[in-house]
Amino acid sequence: MTISSSLNAGVAGLYANAARLASISDNIANASTYGYKRVTADFHSLVVQGMAGGSYAAGGVRVSTHRLIDERGPLVSSANPTDLAVDGRGMLPVTSGIALANGNGTLPLMLMTTGSFRPDASGLLRTDSGMVLLGWPTAPDGTMPSYPRDTIAGLEPVRINLNQFAGDPTTAVSLGLNLPATATIAGASGETLDLSVEYYGNLGTAETLTFSFTPTVPGSGTSNEWTMVIRDSASDGAVIGEYTVTFDDTRGAGGTIASVTTVTGADYDPATGTIGLTVAGGDIELTIGKPGEQGGLTQLSDSFAPNSIVKNGSPVGNLVSVEVDENGYLHAIYDSGFTRTIYKIPLVDVANPNGLATLNDQVYQVSTASGPFFLWDAGDGPTGALAGYSREESATDVAHELTQLIQTQRAYSSNAKVIQTVDEMLQETTNIKR
């Protein structure tokens, strides 16, 4: 019985080391595979109890293998903006292109730590292995709605429509302008000063806001008062606002706005220094400055000087590329110079990443061993940042694997020697009868 148990232990040792050799072979074979997670083989002893007469029976060894999904390989840069990798904990949500093509509305959630995503013929961002990137779509104005975090109900395949036209309407104009103080002195000419500011409407058309500043010329002294009239070219030059602007002439705040009185149009908000204009091409927030503060409209010296006109918006542009920032926002970049946020890529996290079910092509799925998933914003909570222009290299350390290969080879040979020795001992036992 004891000799037979030695033989069984030797066979178990051969099997265990063969399994370890298989895991090492897999690791070395995938040393250049992006996102590969190495496999380890752990040995566990078996103990046989209750042998009579103080004899000992060898129990042998068992082997178990598991994939270290939570280990991360180094990140390397690439030239593709949608080569994505997670710099830390968390995984990219993807789904199968085959499931998407079935069109039954059921998209299985799959996970990757890195992927090289490129638009296909229909604009879907997918890898060469057919994994389609999932994300939360933004609202038309670029804001992010609230989506559930414990379900994939809000996720949809990320689609990039290259060569798509889009407009960037103007929503804010900040007017920095100096009016001549000498124009409000008794005896001044009272000449109206005009300024035109271009803006872009909701349909991408270029329109013009015309500002007319007419000084109030008193019979004596100084009025420090101007009438500001705003006209909109999209409304055939109609007046959309008229305001009386009075400037401060004290030593500490001389030249700044003292008060703004609304004659017609939207009200002036002294707390923010803004006027909410309603134009034919869309609403625009006009900033002219707060009372008593520098900037915006001023009245100093004898010069009419537009010194700072800041506005957003741009003409209609053609989408030429996309980029992903560290927080997971996918920005569409247009040839007219503006960008728009079109998706947000969340990161998926589970309690036990090593318990995820492993599929082909470095793809994983949630299992009972991994625990339920949660969708985090990239860089928030336990998750790392999302890196564009990046790929995650294999987690395999070739030098370590080769060292393990030598040890495994020696252990396998030693177990083979045990079997050979037991065979010789059994042969000797057989020879006793001769």
Tokens 């036990």: give the residue.
Answer: 352
Helix (H/G/I), strand (E/B), else coil: 241: strand
Residue after which a domain boundary falls, among 247, 277, 312: 312
Record the pTM: 0.79
* Number of domain units in the chain: 3
Same domain, 156 and 260: no
Same domain, 369 and 273: no
Kindly report, residue by residue over 285-298, the tens digit of the pLDDT: 999 999 999 889 99
Query: Which amino acid is present at 402?
Result: L
pLDDT at 104 over 80: no
Of 331, 347, 349, 329, give the one whose Cα is nearest residue 339. 331
| 410 secondary structure, DSSP code | H
Residue after which a domain boundary falls, among 291, 312, 333: 312
Residue after which a domain boundary falls, among 286, 312, 338: 312
Q: What are phi and psi of 79, to 5 degrees?
A: -100, -5
Residue 317 resides in a domain: no
Tokens 């009868």: give the residue.
Answer: 433
Instruction: Give the C-alpha separation, 339 to 292, whole Å.
Output: 35
Encoded tokens for 394: 């294999």
Domain extent at residue 279:
170-312
User: Which DSSP string corresponds to 18-75?
Assistant: HHHHHHHHHHHHTTTSTT---EEEEEEEEE----GGG---EEEEEEEEEE-TT--PPE
| CATH value at residue 238 | 2.60.98.20
Residue 318 resides in a domain: no
Instruction: Give the C-alpha separation, 208 to 202, whole Å.
Output: 13
Residue 73 resides in a domain: no
Kindly report, residue by residue over 296-338, the tens digit of the pLDDT: 999 999 999 999 999 998 888 888 889 999 999 999 998 888 8
Residue 302 resides in a domain: yes
Residue 63 resides in a domain: yes
Instruction: Give the C-alpha separation, 126 to 119, whole Å.
Output: 6
| 104 secondary structure, DSSP code | S
The confidence score (pLDDT) of residue 359 equals: 95
Angle at which helices 398-431 and 2-29 pack, to 10 degrees? 160
Kindly report, residue by residue over 172-212, the tens digit of the pLDDT: 999 999 999 999 999 999 999 999 999 998 888 899 999 99
Tokens 């929503």: give the residue.
Answer: 171
Same domain, 51 and 180: no
Weakest-pLDDT range from 21-25, 37-41, 119-123, 418-422: 418-422
Q: Beta strand 172-179 with 297-299: parallel, antiparallel or unpaired?
A: parallel
Kindly report, residue by residue over 359-389, the tens digit of the pLDDT: 999 999 999 999 999 999 999 999 999 999 9
